């Protein structure tokens, strides 16, 4: 039996993860993180989510605590998120939260409190190399719910102390198990949005924090097509809400915060042979230059083949430009090899 701290978000996945570990005989303690103190109607930061987690823990007869990391969350997640949009980049706050909060502050707290492992309800799997014992992060059993992409920033230190109990289950299996246990979260809707922004409220959230920076919307040749009120409303690849009517489908192909210029083009203008990156991380041994990898550029997007180099990827076939600030996750079959941030 080991002592396990379970991050309980108030959703069905972490509820079932807690129940499974308890039934396996582990000494389980639940914890919910208080991260965002402002308005929220989604994600894992609302008062109702904390209450759901507390009541599930009580039903399962496991201790439950709330850790307040809100000050660190503001400094580490919210402020950089705002700055990224002001700089014309498109951040992944949920991935940074995993890196800095859950497998940062929370994992450190778990170690300090003498826990043997940290568990979450993510749909991903951890296996171990039969010869070295090295932890291997893999895709979850349910392709439609696989969350390995958002965990690609984890390394051996984190993976060695991580349990993902629902990774071998489909979402239907999870809900069915919760229903059999009579858990209040069995039919609870999933949280899909950034937890510190209300649904549909991203522009208003940024407007309150980013000074207006109006500029031009131009085509690939530099011809002015219209005007915008700030680059914070645009991301590379966007094709709706472009502030101009061109009579044909256009996409954002570049956002230059320095000149407050947004460039539009057709889909061909988006295609690139390479993508540069920074901040590479690895789940195990570093990827060797020249190795072919599968690359996923969004949580549930398709994977595409590329050759990995120290600071960039070369696509096997041209791909739409990845928005600067987005996470690239690298795979070999279903195993996650690492991650990086597109520049």
Catalytic residues: 97, 195
Q: Residue 32 in 3-state DSSP? A: strand
Distance CA 90, CA 342 (A): 10
Return the structure tokens found at 264: 């539009």
DSSP secondary-structure letter at 44? T
Distance CA 146, CA 246 (A): 38
Using only C-alpha atoms, the chain has a radius of gyration, in whole angstroms, of: 21
User: Which are the contacts of 316, defined by CB distance < 8 A and separation ≥ 6?
Assistant: 292, 304, 305, 306, 307
If you write DSSP's letter for every residue of 255-292 in order, what string do you get? EETTTTEEEEE-HHHHEEEEEEEEEEEESSSPPPTTEE
Phi-psi category of residue 215: left, alpha or beta, with phi > 0 → left and psi -120 to 50 → alpha:
beta
User: Which are the contacts of 272, defined by CB distance < 8 A and separation ≥ 6?
Assistant: 315, 318, 319, 320, 321, 322
């Amino acid at each position: 039996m080991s002592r396990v701290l379970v991050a309980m978000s108030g959703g069905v996945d972490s509820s079932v993860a807690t129940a499974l570990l308890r039934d396996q005989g582990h000494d389980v303690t639940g914890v919910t993180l208080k991260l965002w103190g402002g308005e929220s109607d989604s994600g894992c930061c609302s008062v109702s989510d904390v209450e759901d987690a507390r009541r599930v823990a009580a039903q399962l007869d496991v201790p439950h605590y709330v850790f307040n990391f809100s000050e660190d969350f503001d400094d580490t997640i919210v402020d950089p998120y705002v700055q990224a949009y002001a700089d014309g980049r498109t951040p992944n706050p949920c991935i940074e939260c995993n890196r800095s909060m859950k497998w940062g502050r929370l994992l450190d707290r778990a170690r300090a409190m003498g826990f043997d492992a940290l568990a979450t309800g993510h749909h991903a799997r951890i296996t171990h190399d039969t010869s070295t014992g090295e932890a291997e992060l893999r895709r979850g059993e349910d392709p439609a719910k696989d969350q390995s992409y958002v965990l690609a920033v984890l390394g051996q230190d984190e993976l060695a102390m991580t349990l993902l109990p629902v990774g071998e289950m489909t979402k239907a299996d999870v809900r069915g198990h919760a229903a059999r246990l009579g858990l209040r979260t069995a039919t609870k809707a999933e949280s899909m949005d950034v937890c510190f922004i209300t649904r549909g409220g991203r522009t208003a959230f940024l407007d309150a924090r980013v000074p207006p920076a109006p500029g031009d919307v131009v085509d690939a040749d530099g011809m002015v097509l219209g005007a915008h009120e700030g680059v914070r409303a645009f991301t590379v690849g966007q094709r709706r809400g472009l502030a101009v009517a061109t009579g044909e489908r256009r996409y954002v192909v570049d956002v230059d915060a320095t000149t407050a210029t947004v460039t539009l083009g057709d889909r061909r203008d988006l295609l690139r042979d390479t993508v540069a990156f920074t901040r590479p991380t690895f789940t195990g041994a570093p990827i060797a230059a020249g190795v072919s990898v599968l690359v996923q550029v969004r949580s549930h997007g398709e994977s595409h083949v590329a050759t990995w180099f120290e600071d960039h990827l070369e696509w096997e076939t041209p791909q739409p430009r990845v928005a600067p600030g987005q996470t690239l996750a690298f795979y070999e079959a279903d195993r996650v090899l690492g991650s990086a941030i597109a520049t």
